[in-house]
């Protein structure tokens, strides 16, 4: 299994997420646990892609600081918003190598809130 890690702060590049809310999409939970002042790059190999509500979740295997495998969870939006970004259930498959930009968890554990992602075919979803 190919995996690589890149955890680097790229600054305050929040970007404008052109994300169309199609339904009322009542907010599921606050994003207070994510550090929105940071945007980091996470590269790794897809292990699972849960195309489900209330949040679509992408799991990667990345390399930790000492080269050990680490499971990284990327929390995405709900299904409607995810579809509106062009992401479909088959967009990410186990074994795909992807690169994502996320707002990381404030406490440093391996998880973050999705900002953009480059899929295995090179296409960028933002």
Q: Does 90 bind another protein (CB under 8 A)?
A: no
Please, what is the minimum distance in Å from the beta carbon of residue 54 to another protein?
Answer: 4
Q: Is 82 strand, coil or helix?
A: helix
Rounded Cα distance between 62 and 106, Å, is 19
Q: What is the DSSP letter of 17?
A: -
Residues 52-71 that bind another protein (CB under 8 A): 52-57
Give the residue with the Cβ less far from another protein, 45 or 77: 77
Contacting residue, 11, 13, 17, 64, with another protein by CB under 8 A: 17
| Long-range CB contacts (within 8 A, 24+) of 80-84 | 80/21, 80/22, 80/23, 80/25, 81/19, 81/20, 81/21, 81/22, 81/25, 82/51, 82/56, 84/19, 84/20, 84/21, 84/22
Please, what is the minimum distance in Å from the beta carbon of residue 79 to another protein?
Answer: 7
Rounded Cα distance between 100 and 7, Å, is 10
Q: Does 9 bind another protein (CB under 8 A)?
A: no
Q: Does 105 bind another protein (CB under 8 A)?
A: no
Number of residues that bind another protein (CB under 8 A): 37
Contacting residue, 31, 93, 109, 123, with another protein by CB under 8 A: 31
Give the residues lining the site for another protein (CB under 8 A): 14-19, 21-37, 50, 52-57, 77-81, 83-84
């Amino acid at each position: 299994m190919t995996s690589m890690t890149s955890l680097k702060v790229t600054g305050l590049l929040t970007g404008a997420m052109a994300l169309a809310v199609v339904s009322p999409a009542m907010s599921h939970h606050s994003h207070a646990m994510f550090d929105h002042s940071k945007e980091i790059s996470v590269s790794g190999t897809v292990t699972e892609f849960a195309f489900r509500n209330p949040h679509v979740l992408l799991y990667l295997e990345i390399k930790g600081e000492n080269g050990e495998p680490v499971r990284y969870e990327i929390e995405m939006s709900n299904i409607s918003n995810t579809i509106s970004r062009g992401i479909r259930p088959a967009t990410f498959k186990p074994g795909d190598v992807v690169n994502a930009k996320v707002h990381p968890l404030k406490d440093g554990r391996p998880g973050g809130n999705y900002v953009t992602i480059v899929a295995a075919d090179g296409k960028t979803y933002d």
